[in-house]
């Protein structure tokens, strides 16, 4: 009887573990911010954003959603550039904003202003309050540079249906964009009941899009550097009693390496790159990448122009081809004789 109980316990444990793993959300987590109303759903993609410093990165989702609207003229006439939340914002809520900045913002300090604009006739009022930090000037660090990323949050009240929350970016002194504004914008609106910065929602199904827009240096107009990145969020939970799916999840859980376990090697490689003795090799190779034989000459070899044009230029091109050919042959021989 005792033996039977032991076997039963083990089987039960295995069974429970199996179903726990199968039902766990093992998919790649893309931080998604879901809020606002209707189609106002934003999905941020930090990896994309971090590789595209100098643009802002906002995602929209679902058919019928609207992109972040960029205006070259403001509603108030104070600032030249503004960004407008897509769609209608209904009800009260909390918004948050993360700005990633580089040193270009250090002087003059940037100014950011959140304004809720009344959408038109027969609409209720709207206002912005409780902005954190309470002033729109980017905070500076003790060494005088601007801290980055800068996180803002605030609340808005809204009684209308077509009011719009607009974010203005400008300089402190004259509120007129006159310098480059290198940043990307990561903006989302949350429901009034949610706390800012705690809006990582379970992934919703659908196709998300993200795009980056480089800002023009003078009027915030959109350049052609936009790039669309589409990715689909697949179903991440098994159907009930879908044994095949359960096994797939279990095998994935057991054998699929995590991002973290792979990234440690990347970090290790980066560490080695900066430390002796390997660091010197990387440093010299880096320097050689800056080697430019077509740079300004320290001296000149007198050559007749016609000789240069009709003989040496052609000979040089032949040399280049010859060198690459010899390299290719050498490479082939090297791999034929390689001892691994």
Partner 1 sequence: MITSAILYLLYATIQVIISPILLFSDVVLPEGIANAIGTAGMYVAPINIFIPVDTLVTILLLYLQIEGFVGLYKLIMWGIKKIPTIS
CB of 269 to partner 1, least distance (A): 10
Place of tokens 């122009």: 305
CB of 326 to partner 1, least distance (A): 8
Segment interacting with partner 1 (CB under 8 A) among 65-73, 191-199, 200-208, 267-275? 267-275
CB of 241 to partner 1, least distance (A): 24
Place of tokens 């320290």: 298
| CA distance linking residue 204 with residue 34, whole number of Å | 9
1-28 burial code (b ≥16 CB/10 A, e <16): eeeeeeeeeeeeeeeeeeeebbeeebee
Contact 193, 103 (CB under 8 A): no
Size of the site for partner 1 (CB under 8 A): 55
Sheet strands side by side (includes 183-191): 126-132, 150-158, 93-101, 183-191
Which helix (H) or strand (E) segment holds residue 103: the answer is: none
Instruction: Outline where DSSP puts E strands in 162-300.
Output: 164-171, 183-191, 206-214, 227-233
182 burial via Cβ count (<10 Å: 0-12, 13-18, 19+) = middle
Of 1, 5, 241, 262, the residue at the interface with partner 1 (CB under 8 A) is: 262
Q: Which is nearer to partner 1, 228 or 291 (CB)?
A: 291
Q: Which is nearer to partner 1, 5 or 262 (CB)?
A: 262
Structure tokens at 127: 């206002």
Q: Which is nearer to partner 1, 15 or 312 (CB)?
A: 312
CB of 248 to partner 1, least distance (A): 15
Which 202-261 positions form the footprint of partner 1 (CB under 8 A)? 253-258, 260-261
Q: Which is nearer to partner 1, 4 or 340 (CB)?
A: 340
Instruction: Outline where DSSP puts E strands in the chain.
Output: 32-34, 41-43, 55-61, 69-71, 82-84, 93-101, 110-117, 126-132, 150-158, 164-171, 183-191, 206-214, 227-233
Which 309-338 positions form the footprint of partner 1 (CB under 8 A)? 312, 315-316, 319-320, 323-324, 327, 330-331, 334, 338
Which 287-306 positions form the footprint of partner 1 (CB under 8 A)? 287-301, 303
Q: Which is nearer to partner 1, 245 or 250 (CB)?
A: 250
Under 8 Å CB-to-CB from 110, ≥6 apart: which residues?
101, 137, 138, 146, 169, 170, 171, 172, 181
Q: Which is nearer to partner 1, 205 or 311 (CB)?
A: 311
Of 4, 5, 285, 337, the residue at the interface with partner 1 (CB under 8 A) is: 285
| CA distance linking residue 124 with residue 162, whole number of Å | 9
CB of 6 to partner 1, least distance (A): 25
Map residues 90-119 to x or -, x wherever contact with partner 1 holds by CB under 8 A: ------------------------------
CB of 281 to partner 1, least distance (A): 8
Structure tokens at 191: 């429901």
Q: Which is nearer to partner 1, 114 or 246 (CB)?
A: 246
Residues of the shown chain interacting with partner 1 in the complex, contacts defined by CB under 8 A: 253-258, 260-262, 264-265, 268, 271-272, 274-280, 282-285, 287-301, 303, 308, 312, 315-316, 319-320, 323-324, 327, 330-331, 334, 338, 340
């Amino acid at each position: 009887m005792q033996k039977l109980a032991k076997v039963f316990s083990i089987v039960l444990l295995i069974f429970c573990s199996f179903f726990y793993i199968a039902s766990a959300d093992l998919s790649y987590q893309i931080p998604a911010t879901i809020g606002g109303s209707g189609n106002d759903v934003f999905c941020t993609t930090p990896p994309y954003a971090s590789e595209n410093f100098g643009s802002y990165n906002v995602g929209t989702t679902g058919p019928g959603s609207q992109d972040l609207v960029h205006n070259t003229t403001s509603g108030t006439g104070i600032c030249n550039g503004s960004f407008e939340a897509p769609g209608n914002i209904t009800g009260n809520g909390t918004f948050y904003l993360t700005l990633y900045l580089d040193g270009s913002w250090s002087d003059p300090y940037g100014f950011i202003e959140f304004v809720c604009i009344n959408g038109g006739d027969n609409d209720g009022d709207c206002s912005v309050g409780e902005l954190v930090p309470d002033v729109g000037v980017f905070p500076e660090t003790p060494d005088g540079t601007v801290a980055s990323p800068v996180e803002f949050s605030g609340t808005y009240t809204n009684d209308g249906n077509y009011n719009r929350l607009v974010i203005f970016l400008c300089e402190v002194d004259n509120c007129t964009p006159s310098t480059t504004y290198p940043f990307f914008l990561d903006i989302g609106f949350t429901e009034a009941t949610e706390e800012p910065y705690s809006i990582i929602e379970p992934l919703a199904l659908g196709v998300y899009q993200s795009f980056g827009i480089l800002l023009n240096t003078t009027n915030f107009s959109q350049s052609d550097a936009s790039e669309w990145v589409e990715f689909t969020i697949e179903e991440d939970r098994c159907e009930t009693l879908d044994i095949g799916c359960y096994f797939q999840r279990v095998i994935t859980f057991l054998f699929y390496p995590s991002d973290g376990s792979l990234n440690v090697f990347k970090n290790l490689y980066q560490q080695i790159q900066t430390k002796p003795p390997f660091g010197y090799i990387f440093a010299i190779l880096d320097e050689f990448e800056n080697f430019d034989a077509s740079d300004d000459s320290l001296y000149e070899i007198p050559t007749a122009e016609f000789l240069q044009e009709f003989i040496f230029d052609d000979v040089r091109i032949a040399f280049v081809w010859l060198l690459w050919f010899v390299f290719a042959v050498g490479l082939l021989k090297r791999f034929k004789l390689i001892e691994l």
